[in-house]
Structure 1
């Protein structure tokens, strides 16, 4: 069986695809997996490490960009369709999966003309434009949604939508709820590209952390842009830390963390709840339809996390909240339990089963490509 996965750009689009690829390999021993993305996205750094191949297409996003970049993206549209055609012709997949983002648009669109089975995965409560358009023009056999509220954006026949949650990599799902680190470890994540406001607040807080919490150990994913500055600040303040632009073995660091400080993207929250980690959530303030604020409130309302809105974030606020939580081990334990209860560890397995059923149901149709 051949599976083509169009995913990438950021970790939020890429890692659900990696989770699905790993699960296809587990359920179908002879499965062949190929990713489609761009040369600029995170996929160019991650997929080789994960053991998967990547084909790149020339495509750029259209929504929310300046006029010059929008015009360039429009010029590239026919080029992206040609690139997608070549990938589909060369690989001849049984199934094509799009994880949203601009790379999946031309691939899913072209796959529909060649009768490939087509699935889109929507990780957010408010669907992205790519998936909305693909569903609206009828180019999708099955839409897999993470949230019930997303259903209203897609007017599809019964059976063409499934609410199954967000896929999470198996090494995260298999972790125990209790962490393996008995100290005071703070894991700081800004998403795959980092988060400048979180990085800045952490730099502002280092002097107080050193003075008030000398046994604190920080694991910090900064993103490329702020890496040198943040790493230098830790060294100058003498705060114990492991600082990297990107944390590839994230399962290990989740396992060691007593508390996570991060954004509130759907993929990040799926990972946190799969691992059962308490969190301080700082939603990205410019997310479409404020979906990160809605995500964060969902966890905060259950007691699995606390939320600090981005405009209120600074070093003093961060120190106060981290010390408050780190000083109350019982509260951290309860937050971890509530986080775990919100997770959906079977989502990846169920999504792959639905995909396999789709392929098997249509196996008697006309040959593809």
Structure 2
């Protein structure tokens, strides 16, 4: 086999004038050919499972939008009824000076109801319908792209295995044709690079189409956000001086003084664990101190100080009582003058005194 290769080389490549073998007529070797490296995969990989998760999130968004639209319509109807009820109270006989204030308050409710109704009516065509169309298009494109990728991958894999078998057959031959063998290796390398390029195109397209639908969802969400901001700002401007609500707001109390949020201990612990910190739950109440609130805080402080003083006095009385009880229960010190003599000692002393008197008498 080596002799055959040498003979082919001697006939294909004549000697140069310098005596060395000329390689001008040799075909290019595999090492001399530089294949372009396949492109690297995107930094963000959007797989088939990710696409399914995205579709579920977009469907949840549509469901939430429909629920919000229904709730806004109900709120608009309720605010309209509340405004009508205030207007009826303003027209009651004998309302007197309260008539204008009630009428202004009802007008604000009508305005808020109108804004809520407009916002609810903007959801079907301004958000839900476009997002639904984009979602259907996203499902269709991703499904078609996935099917094409699987088919192309299977076809190219089969061709690669076929080329590998051909290379194995060429390697088993006793007389190997170097040109054919080199060509087969180049073809095999090209097919492997093609598979890598196919995988890159698949992930690149998945990322591009996902970013595209996300940008479109953001665009429609910003429209809803802008509508909400402008409408609520319109309602807030009614509280500016000279807009008709001066007398109503001037004599109003703190609207948040009666709001009390009660959170059970298990729910609070679950919320803290979910948030990953131990910050206290802040109630959605006004943080601006009012005169009534300051007076209430002072009264509460005085009461707390009185309770603390009473508890301190009770603790001192309790300590004194314990000390007196301990001293009463302790054994008295031995003192013959203070303690009464025992019965046996008295009898013995009396007997001794009697004997001494008798002896003196004798």
Same fold (TM over 0.5): no
Higher helix share: 2
TM-score, reference length from structure 2: 0.22
TM-score, reference length from structure 1: 0.21
The structure with the largest alpha-carbon Rg is 2
Higher strand share: 1
